[in-house]
Chains A and B, each alone.
Chain A
Amino acid sequence: MKNDTRNFLICGVLLLAVAALPFFTNNFVIRFATDILMFAIMASAWNIIGGYTGYASFGNVVFFGIGAYITAIMMEKGGMNFAVAFIGAGFGAALFAILIGLPVLRLRGHYFAIATLGVAEAMKALVQNLEITEGNSGIYLPMLNLSVKGQYYFFFYMMLGTLVLTLLVTYFMLNAKFGYSLIAIREDEDAANSVGINTTYAKTMAFALSGLFTGLAGSVYAYQQAFIKPEPAFTVHTTVKMIVMAVFGGMGKLFGPLLGAFSIEIISEVLSNYFLVAHTLFFGIVVILAIVFTPKGIIDLITQKKFGLAYFLQNIREHRI
Chain B
Amino acid sequence: MILQIIINGILKGGLYALMAIGMSLIWGVMDIINIAHGSFIMLGAFTTYWLFTLFGIDPFLSLVASMTVLFILGYAVQKYLINLVIRASAFITLILAFGIEIFINNSALVMWTADVRKVKVPYGAANFSIGNFVTVPTVRLLAFLLVIIISIILFYILNKTNLGRSIRATSQDLDAARLVGVDVARTYAVTFGLGVGAAGAAGTLWAILFPISPMMGGILTLKSFVVVIIGGLGNMLGPLIGGLTLGVTEALGSNWFGSTYENLISFTILVLVLIIRPQGILGGTE
Contacts and interface: CB of A to CB of B under 8 A. Distances in A.
Interface residues of A, number: 44
Range of interface residues on chain B? 35 or more
B86 A320 contact: yes
Contacts of B90: 109-110
A11 interface: no
Q: Chain B contact residues: over half helix, strand or loop, or mixed? A: helix
Contacts of A283: 102, 106
B94 A113 contact: yes
B1 interface: no
B6 interface: no
B84 A320 contact: yes
Nearest to A50: B91
Contacts of A110: 27, 31, 33, 90, 94
A277 B103 CA distance: 13
B84 to A, nearest CB: 5
Nearest to B275: A103
Interface in B118-151: none
Nearest to A279: B106
A247 B95 contact: yes
B20 interface: no
Given A103-B275, A129-B264, A284-B103, A291 B92 contact: yes
19 contacts: A109-B90, A110-B94, A114-B33, A114-B270, A115-B274, A125-B261, A125-B263, A129-B264, A240-B98, A278-B110, A284-B101, A285-B99, A288-B81, A291-B95, A291-B96, A292-B85, A318-B88, A321-B174, A321-B185
Interface of B: 27, 31, 33, 81, 83-88, 90-92, 94-96, 98-104, 106-107, 109-110, 174, 178, 184-185, 188, 218, 222, 225-226, 229, 260-261, 263-264, 267-268, 270-271, 274-275, 278
Please provide the 10 A-B residue pairs with the shortest distance between their CB atoms, ordered closest to farther: A284-B103, A287-B99, A284-B102, A122-B267, A125-B264, A281-B106, A288-B99, A118-B270, A319-B88, A125-B263
